[in-house]
Amino acid sequence: MLPNKHLFFEFCLHIANLKLYLHPANGYGALAQLVEQWTENPCVPGSIPGGTTKNPYISKDFFVFGLILQKTTVLTVIDANTPLEELQNYLLSKEWLDAAEKITAIEKPGEGNMNVVLRIITDQRSFILKQSRPYVQKYQQIKAPVDRIAVEKKFYQAVRDNAVHAHVPKIIGFDASENLLLLEDLGNCKDMTYIYQKHAISNGLLDRLIFILGLIHRKKAPSDFPENMEMRQLNHQHIFELPFLEDNGFQLDDIQPGLQELSLQFKTDKKVRKIVKKVGKKYLKPGNTLLHGDYYPGSWMTEAENLYIIDPEFGFVGFPEFDLGVMAAHVIIATGKKGYMKRIHAAYQGDADLELMSQMAGIEIMRRLIGLAQLPLDRTLKEKSKLLKKARKLILSP
Ligand SMILES: Nc1ncnc2c1ncn2[C@@H]1O[C@H](COP(=O)(O)OP(=O)(O)OP(=O)(O)O)[C@@H](O)[C@H]1O
Ligand SMILES: [Mg+2]
């Protein structure tokens, strides 16, 4: 069912790799505020310096809702301000440090919004500590399913005896009660969102990304792999519902003047909407393939010649065309070339329905251009219009 302004419902945001929940019973001011908070952070992928709204209005209900959410807290809250000694004692108590090992520094390994992600440096090594909270770490009034960290761990575990293991961080420790995952430090990686600025992706990297995705998909998912339904519902709203609502409260003209008008012909296209609905339903159904769930340039990391895949917190067992379509969408957004669809389909080692994959890619392109989850994409309105038309073709006549 589509969100109704007059009902009490949960309204979700998934912005680039930022996933948010909010409650808009008093209108959409809070939504605007969150978009503002997110977009004005120059460090976040997809951010827009200066933000997107001029006078954001936050309803009181928004804060009340936030306070209720914050009642659920993790046992040991660790962040960049945790004193080294406290962290040292905590990690020692978990036997994650050698008795003689001393923490010398904590640093932020890169940008993230959802979770606490820290690099712990000791006198012997470094590792990554990732902790999920029942809210989005950067915007703590916003609810998010805390067990997403367990999904991430299950995913890394599921692929560890397969060639994918060379492309994901090793698990060093996991504490379900603290929602805490300790991971191998992959070094000074950079994510591949640079392809949007470069308007290109190297053939070598693309082939490796397709190959790794095939490996993940061929891995038999354990029967107890989490459904991850809350995260999927969150994503469902942001991929298949909100971008196609005429009145979703998001001011596209604040991103780029004229974008709102441009978006209308795609939002109101009945044929497009019918397919979006069909694919969206499939996304929420069980499938038979282990998916990464967020296979886009923000999850692809390079470090020298190495290629890593991180952040599988949206993983689930579903249909392979979801990951494939999302991947193809981002390559097409970056390069402007629809031909990558067939190229990716042909190189993929596995069975995939080209029509479904194209539909998924078209939907992903549209939602990244006219939805809330904007990318760091410097394109003219004309270029966006061309991309949207390509997306419509992918959806309607793959
Ligand atoms: N194992 C690792 N080794 C080195 N750097 C890492 C590792 N894991 C994460 N990072 C760095 O930390 C950043 C944030 O990590 P991650 O994407 O897992 O966090 P997140 O909170 O889930 O982010 P998001 O809000 O985008 O979902 C990454 O972009 C990367 O730069
Ligand atoms: Mg994440």
Residues 260 and 119 in one domain: no
What is the arithmetic mean of pLDDT over 361-375? Answer: 95
Is 373 found in the same domain as 246? yes
With a pLDDT cut of 70, the percent of the chain lying above it is 81
Which residue, by CA, sits nearest to atom 27 of ligand 1? 17
pTM reported for the whole predicted model: 0.84
* 350 and 233 assigned to the same domain: yes
| pLDDT band at 71; cut points 50, 70, 90 | very low
CA of 313, closest atom in ligand 1: 22
Please give the span between the terminal C-alpha atoms of the chain, in angstroms, as a whole number.
27
> Is it the case that residue 16 has pLDDT exceeding 90?
no
**Which residues are 171's β-sheet partners?**
183
What are 340's two structure tokens? 């990558």
- What number does the ligand 1 atom closest to the CA of 294 have? 27
Q: Convert 345-373 to b/e letters by CB count within 10 Å (16 or more is b).
A: beebeeebebebbbbbbbbbbbbbbbbbb
The reply to whether 173 and 255 lie within a common domain is no
Between the CA of 311 and the centroid of ligand 1 the distance, in Å, is 7
**Pocket probe mutation, ligand 1, options 47, 107, 111, max atoms within 8 Å of Cβ:** 111
Q: What is the mean pLDDT of residues 84-100?
A: 92
* Residues 345/209, Cβ–Cβ less than 8 Å: no
The answer to whether 244 touches 2, Cβ cutoff 8 Å, is no
Domain CATH number, residue 293: 3.90.1200.10
| Number of independent structural domains in the chain | 3
DSSP label of 135: B
In a domain, 284, yes or no: yes
- What pLDDT does residue 398 have? 66
Q: Are residues 157 and 300 in the same domain?
A: no
Indicate whether 250 belongs to any domain.
yes
Task: Supply φ then ψ for residue 76, to 5 degrees.
Answer: -120, 105
Is the torsion defined by CA of 370, 376, 382, 385 positive or negative?
Answer: negative
Please indicate, yes or no, if residue 2 is contained in any of the structural domains: no
Q: What percentage of residues in the chain have a pLDDT greater than 90?
A: 71
pLDDT at 18 over 50: no
Q: 39-55: per-residue pLDDT in tens?
A: 433 222 233 333 333 33
| Residue 10 domain flag | no
Q: Count the Cβ atoms, other than its own, within 10 Å of residue 83.
A: 9
Residue 75 lies in a domain: no
Do 53 and 120 share a domain, yes or no? no
160 and 242 share a domain? no
CATH of residue 123: 3.30.200.20
Does an H or E element contain 128, and which? strand 126-131
Q: What is the pLDDT of residue 392?
A: 98
> Residue 32: CB partners within 8 Å, gap ≥ 6?
52, 53, 56, 57, 249, 250, 251
Domain-located, residue 31: yes
Same domain? For 341 and 378 the reply is yes
pLDDT of res. 75: 56
Same domain, 61 and 119: no
Highest mean pLDDT, choosing among 80-84, 113-117, 119-123, 231-235: 119-123
152-171 residue pLDDT tens: 999 999 999 889 999 999 99
Q: Which domain holds residue 54?
A: 17-70
Q: Closest Cα to residue 136, out of 66, 80, 185?
A: 66
Both 259 and 213 in a single domain?
yes
- pLDDT tens track for 203-223: 999 999 999 999 999 999 999
Q: Is residue 12 part of a domain?
A: no
Is 228 part of a structural domain of the chain? yes
Same domain, 173 and 247: no
Q: Which atom of ligand 1 is nearest to the CA of 186?
A: 3
CB contact at 8 A, 357 and 282: no
Residues 57, 114 within the same domain: no
Q: Quick check: 66 pLDDT over 80?
A: no
User: Two tokens at 378?
Assistant: 């410097």
Cβ contacts of 97 within 8 Å, gap of 6 or more? 88, 91, 103, 122
Residue nearest to atom 15 of ligand 1 (CA): 112
Dihedral angle sign, alpha carbons of residues 220, 225, 229, 233: negative
- Which residues form ligand 1's pocket by a CB distance below 6 Å? 17-18, 109-115, 117, 128, 169, 183-186, 189, 191, 298, 310-311, 313
Whole-number Å distance, alpha carbon 181 to ligand 2 midpoint, is 13
Q: How far is residue 308's CA from residue 169's CA, in Å, rounded to a whole number?
A: 8
